[in-house]
A and B are shown apart, each in its own frame.
Chain A
Amino acid sequence: KQEVTQIPAALSVPEGENLVLNCSFTDSAIYNLQWFRQDPGKGLTSLLLIQSSQREQTSGRLNASLDKSSGRSTLYIAASQPGDSATYLCAVHNFNKFYFGSGTKLNVKP
């Protein structure tokens, strides 16, 4: 069964800092990997989708990379802002299921 782990569980940084969130998975036979953001009391908002054939995707200040062979993905956030404070989850897709990590709770201090 696919296991998805996110490290760290929580992260607190000052505004303006660049940061990296990590996601690892045990079964490399994935179709794609998706990064989500979840604000308190809200649903999940999709940030980036990386297909299994891709190495990275970028959207604004966000860059996600994928190394399927080592079972790792990273989400890089440049020049962090207080509005980036949320929980970030990664999900890997294989065999018609999406497997989620437990998330990294990010706090960006003004």
Chain B
Amino acid sequence: GAGVSQSPSNKVTEKGKDVELRCDPISGHTALYWYRQSLGQGLEFLIYFQGNSAPDKSGLPSDRFSAERTGGSVSTLTIQRTQQEDSAVYLCASSPAGANVLTFGAGSRLTVL
């Protein structure tokens, strides 16, 4: 597509429920990143996918967080047993191979009650 697409744009859930956030990167972009931005805070790296290589999961805050990228394109970030501290905007970005230039989606705002 023309840009990075994220869904849902807003998600309100109850504590303890699982949520899935979706990212559809720009067609042909081999790198895909997930970041988290808490209210008034900077961006926190979560996970990085590059082509068919093993993902860099070093930023995932706990084992409740996981992500996958199917067919080198769409990615899903899953948060199990959500906690109130998971409330944040989750941003996805993609980059073409070798360019190291990020293009961001509009984000998914997650609110855990």
How would residues 58 to 74 of chain A score, 1 for a CB under 8 Å from any chain B CB and 0 otherwise?
00000000000000000
The reply on A100 being an interface residue by CB < 8 A is yes
How many chain A residues touch B (CB < 8 A): the figure is 22
The reply on B43 being an interface residue by CB < 8 A is yes
Known: A34-B102, A97-B45, A98-B45. 6 other contacts (CB 8 A): A41-B109, A43-B106, A46-B103, A49-B101, A89-B43, A96-B50
- Give the Cβ gap from A31 to chain B, nearest Cβ, in Å: 6
What number of residue pairs across chains A and B have CB atoms under 8 A from each other? 49
The reply on A32 being an interface residue by CB < 8 A is yes
Dominant secondary structure of chain A at its interface with chain B: strand
B residues within 8 Å of A by Cβ?
4, 6, 33, 35, 41-43, 45, 48, 50, 56, 91, 93, 100-107, 109
